[in-house]
Amino acid sequence: MRGRLPAAGLLLALAGVAPGQALDCVAGFCLGQPFTPDVEAGGWQVADWPDPADCSQVSGGSLPAGVGMMLLDGRIARFEIGLAGGDEGLPPTGPFGLQRGMSLADAGARLPDAGVEPALHKYARPPGLYLDWRDAQRDLAVRVELPDTVVEVILWGRADAVQLTEGCV
């Protein structure tokens, strides 16, 4: 699972994106930006829990298919794959080339060498895993959820938002 940071960094550099930037923005939507989805005109889907003023999960609109966002207090706090639906066709790719359906070994090999911590999945039985990577200097994180043998969910954004498992709790 270790020794792959240069390859991940090289892939991001070849794509014209610095490694840290890949965690900040998706399709022009960036962490910390205020966002109010125009459900009527914009084709956005919104799921609010427990209070829409505090927390919403947003998908559709001009986001790539299969990618969603979590809004905390009306600002973009994280991006997500595997929670928003819309995975028809090619699966979307998250930071470091992570995709749903990858094995634990493949996902672990794509994450940077430093800062990865495995943890037991909160709900999966037999125990599944979370792979958490954190950039402490920028307070950003990536969480890969493996409730079974393959990646089901990929979350990235603010470190505190990536840790949330049931809406905003």
In this predicted structure, what is the pLDDT of residue 40?
76
Please give the backbone phi and psi of residue 84, each rounded to the nearest 5 degrees, phi first.
-95, -10
pTM: 0.82
| Average confidence score pLDDT of the chain | 80
Residue 14: per-residue pLDDT? 32
Residue 141 has pLDDT above 50, yes or no: yes
- Residue with more model confidence, 115 or 163: 163
How many other CB atoms are there within 10 angstroms of residue 28's CB atom? 8
Domain-wise residue ranges, the chain: 5-162
Residue 73: how many other CB atoms lie within 10 Å: 11
Q: Kindly report, residue by residue over 65-105, the tens digit of the pLDDT.
A: 999 999 999 999 999 998 766 555 667 899 999 999 999 99
